[in-house]
Structure 1
Amino acid sequence: MQCPALTRAPQTAITCFDDLVLFLEPDHEPSSHPLDRPPFPALQHAIHGYQDHFHADFYTTLWPRILEWASTVPGTYAPTGLGFTSPQVSSCGTYTSAKCNYDTDVARYILANMFVLNKPQPAPECGNLDLYRLMNSQARCREGDVGAARLECLLAYFHTIAEEEQGRTITIERRQWLGQAHELDASGHALARVNLMETSMESAADATRFVNFANQDLHIHRIIPSGTQEEVLFSCAPEAFVAIGLCPRMTSDQVIMIRNVRRFVEYTGYLSSFKFLRLVGTRRVFDILSIDAVTRSHYTVASVDRDVRKATLAMLPTDEKHGRGGVVTGHWGCGVFGGNKTHKFIQQLVAASRANVPMLHYSVFGDVQLMNFLRQVEAAIRAREWTIDDVATRLLSNYSVMCAAADKAKADGYIWTLLSTMSTPSRKVPYEEFIATELGLEACEGRGL
C-alpha cells in the first residue's frame, strides 16, 4: 500500500467550512439555490460536534496539525510503502503467519491523508480508504447522523494523538491454517472459563483481545455511513483503518489480527443510533481478532468445522509470552449472518478451549434470559466434566448429524432412522431444545435465536 504525502497547500488560511470545502474539492462551485444540497454535510456536522465537545476551534487548533501530518512523511515510513512479510510457519507448526508493522506516526500520517482526501493507494484486491462518501453522507434520522458520528470519532483521535507520545508499533497479522484445528494438541487444555456479561463487549476491562464480527472483506473494503459492530470498532480505534487497504478477502481458512491498537473513543448506540460520546478515560491497547462466519447452512458439519477453525486460529496466542490474555466476544455470526446465538456461543467456547484462552468474556448485549440459559448450559457441561471433544461432539457434531438426517427425511419424503447411538428424533428440533435435552435442562424453545 502506498500513501504519497499531500503536496498541495491552501493558498490562503482556512478559517471556515467554505474554505475547507474549496480545499478538499477545488472544482466545487458554490450554489446560491436554496434547495441545492450543501457539500460534505456529515463533515460539517462532525466539526460542529468536535468544537462543542472539546471547546476548541477546529480551524485554528486541529486543522493545521492535520495538514502538517498529511504533508510530512514520517521517518519510519518506508519508500516502498506498507506490505506483508513472506508467510512463516508458526512455532506450533499448524498455521502460517504474514505480518505488516507500522508505528503510530505512520498510522497518523495515513489517516491524515485520508481526511484531506489524498487517498492512499491500496494493495491489489484490497479495500478502499476513501472518506469522500462518509464526508458527503446525509444520513440524518431521528436517532442521529452515523456518518458525522464516525467522522467525529476520527477528529477525537486526531485531538488525542496530538498529545500522545508516539512510537507504539501496530502489527497486522494474516494467519492461514496448514492443517485442521483438531490436529492441535489440546489434550492438556481445560474447558475455557467463561464470564457471561449483560453489558457491552467494551466493559470487559481485563480482556486484551477483542473479536471483530468481520465480513470476508475486512470492514466491507470501504468506509461508509454505517454502524455495524465492525464499523463501530474501527471508528473507536481508527489506527485499524490502515488494515483495510492491506488485506485482501479472507478465505475460509484465514483470519486477520490487528495487534496493539488503542481505543480512543467511547460511544453510545448501534447502527443508525451510533454516536460519539467522549474520549476513553484510560489508555489501553488491545488486539482485534477479525473473523468472518458462514451466512448459510449453519448446522452442517462443514460449516460448523469452518467457523470453529476460524475462531480457534484467531484465538491462538502469538507465542508463549504474548497474546495469552482473555478474549471478549459476543453474538458473532448472528444477526444478518443468520446464526443461532446459543450455537455460536458453543462454537466459540470450543474454539477458546482449543486455543487455551484463559478467560472467554461473552456479552449477551442485554439479553438477560439468554444469559441465564447460557449459565445453565455451562454449569451442566462442567457438572458432567465433559472434555473439549465431548462438547464439540455432543453439542455440535451430533446436532449436525441430526439436522442432516432430518433434511434427508424431508427431501426423500419418509422418516430416516438416525444412528443407533443417538436418541434424538428425526425431526429438526430447535437448537435450544436439542441442547436442553442433551444436558437435562428445562425446555427453552426460542431462547438464543
Structure 2
Amino acid sequence: MLQVDFANRFVGGGVTSAGLVQEEIRFLINPELIVSRLFTEVLDHNECLIITGTEQYSEYTGYAETYRWARSHEDGSKRDSWQRRSTEIVAIDALHFRRYLDQFVPEKIRRELNKAYCGFLRPGVPSENLSAVATGNWGCGAFGGDARLKALIQILAAAVAERDVVYFTFGDSELMKDIYSMHTFLTERRLTVGEVYKLLLRYYNEECRNCSTPGPDMKLYPFIYHAVESCAETTNQPGQRTGA
C-alpha cells in the first residue's frame, strides 16, 4: 500500500528535535527516512515527496509523551528488482488551522484536495497496478483539521487518482462508522467527485461563512445527507424530470 506520512512542510518535522507524533515516529522506526531532510526543500502547495525502499528497524508503544521504543523489528516486506524494500511512503503536508471554520473556506479545501491528489496520483501507471492508499486523520490533532472533512477530501482525491483507500481511525469506532456510512451513501447514490465538491462549497456558504460561533450548528456529514436527500425528493416529485 501507499503509506501516507502526515508531513510537516519541512519533511521530518521535529524528528531531530522535540517532535514525536505521526511523522516523527515513522522517521524513527524507519531511520533511513531521516536522510531525506538533507536534500528535500520545503514542500510547496503542489508538491509531495515519495520515498521508496526504506526498512523498518524498530517497534514502539505509545504516542507523543507516552512514546517508548519497544524492540527491534525484522522487516519481512518483499524486495523489488532493485532489492529495495517494497515500501512506498508519500509525504503530504496539511495546512495548519488555528480557527476551526477556516478549513471550510473554498480556497483551503481546494488546496488540501490538490495536495492529496498530488500525493496519490501516478501518471502513466494503469489503475489496476496501483496499490491502495493507507491513511488516516491527516492534518488533524495539532494541525486543527476536522477528521470527517479530511477523510472526505482524501476519498475524493483517491477517486480521481483511481486508487482505493484503507482508512485507519486509530480506535475511534464512531469515526469509522461515520466515514463508512458516508462512503456507502455517496457510492449508492452515484455522486461524482464534482458533485460532492459542490456540496462542500454549499456547506461553507450556508453554514460556515456567517457563523458567529466557533463551529456551525450543523455538522458536515448531516448537511450532506440532508442536501442529497432533499434534492432527490424534489427531483422525484410528480411532474419533475428524473433523468436526461
Q: TM-score range by the shorter chain?
A: 0.7 to 0.9
Q: Hey, what does 1:311 align to over in structure 2?
A: 116
State yes or no: 1:327 paired with 2:150.
Answer: no
Alpha-carbon offset, residue 252 of structure 1: 1.5
> Which is greater in Rg?
1
State yes or no: 1:257 paired with 2:50.
Answer: yes
For residues 60 and 14 of structure 2, the distance between their equivalents in structure 1, rounded to whole angstroms, comes to 23
Q: Hey, what does 2:242 align to over in structure 1?
A: none
**CA deviation profile, 1:319-359 (whole Å, cap 9, x unmatched):** 426972111000001111111110000000001011111x2
Contact 1:308 1:347 in 2 (8 A): yes
1:372 to 177, 187, 194: 177
Moved more, 256-265 or 235-244: 256-265
| Cα distance change of structure 1 residues 276 and 438 upon mapping to structure 2, 3 Å threshold | farther
State yes or no: 1:402 paired with 2:203.
Answer: no
TM-score, normalising length: structure 1: 0.45
- Structure 2 counterparts to residues 9-88 of structure 1, below 5 A: none
Q: Hey, what does 1:435 align to over in structure 2?
A: 224
For residues 141 and 36 of structure 2, the distance between their equivalents in structure 1, rounded to whole angstroms, comes to 24
Alpha-carbon offset, residue 438 of structure 1: 3.3
**CA deviation profile, 1:261-299 (whole Å, cap 9, x unmatched):** 222322221111112223334422311111111122200
| Cα distance change of structure 1 residues 279 and 251 upon mapping to structure 2, 3 Å threshold | same
Contact 2:60 2:71 in 1 (8 A): yes
Q: Hey, what does 1:291 align to over in structure 2?
A: 92
Contact 2:58 2:69 in 1 (8 A): yes
For residues 111 and 167 of structure 2, the distance between their equivalents in structure 1, rounded to whole angstroms, comes to 21
For residues 380 and 303 of structure 1, the distance between their equivalents in structure 2, rounded to whole angstroms, comes to 25
Q: What's the C-alpha RMSD, in Å, of the aligned pairs?
A: 2.3
State yes or no: 1:345 paired with 2:122.
Answer: no
- Structure 2 counterparts to residues 43-192 of structure 1, below 5 A: none
Q: Hey, what does 1:129 align to over in structure 2?
A: none
Q: Mark the runs of 5 or more structure 1 residues left unpaired by the alignment.
A: 1-206, 411-426, 441-449
For residues 314 and 228 of structure 1, the distance between their equivalents in structure 2, rounded to whole angstroms, comes to 20
Length, aligned pairs only: 214
Q: SS state of the match for residue 220, structure 1?
A: coil
State yes or no: 1:392 paired with 2:197.
Answer: yes
Which structure is higher in RCO with an 8 Å CA cutoff and minimum separation 6?
A: 2
For residues 130 and 206 of structure 2, the distance between their equivalents in structure 1, rounded to whole angstroms, comes to 36
Contact 1:317 1:355 in 2 (8 A): yes
**CA deviation profile, 1:29-53 (whole Å, cap 9, x unmatched):** xxxxxxxxxxxxxxxxxxxxxxxxx
**CA deviation profile, 1:143-176 (whole Å, cap 9, x unmatched):** xxxxxxxxxxxxxxxxxxxxxxxxxxxxxxxxxx
For residues 326 and 367 of structure 1, the distance between their equivalents in structure 2, rounded to whole angstroms, comes to 21
| Cα distance change of structure 1 residues 404 and 430 upon mapping to structure 2, 3 Å threshold | closer
Alpha-carbon offset, residue 404 of structure 1: 5.3
Contact 1:211 1:329 in 2 (8 A): yes
Alpha-carbon offset, residue 225 of structure 1: 4.2
**Aligned partner letter, 1:228:** V
| Cα distance change of structure 1 residues 341 and 222 upon mapping to structure 2, 3 Å threshold | closer
Q: SS state of the match for residue 304, structure 1?
A: helix
For residues 227 and 205 of structure 2, the distance between their equivalents in structure 1, rounded to whole angstroms, comes to 14
Q: SS state of the match for residue 232, structure 1?
A: helix
Q: SS state of the match for residue 149, structure 2?
A: helix
Alpha-carbon offset, residue 212 of structure 1: 0.8
| Cα distance change of structure 1 residues 273 and 405 upon mapping to structure 2, 3 Å threshold | closer
TM-score, normalising length: structure 2: 0.79
Contact 2:15 2:27 in 1 (8 A): no
Report % sequence identity: 25
2:9 to 216, 233, 236: 216
Alpha-carbon offset, residue 305 of structure 1: 0.1
Q: Mark the runs of 5 or more structure 2 residues left unpaired by the alignment.
A: 78-85, 230-244
Contact 1:299 1:403 in 2 (8 A): no
State yes or no: 1:382 paired with 2:187.
Answer: yes
Q: Hey, what does 1:48 align to over in structure 2?
A: none
Q: Hey, what does 1:354 align to over in structure 2?
A: 160
Alpha-carbon offset, residue 432 of structure 1: 3.7
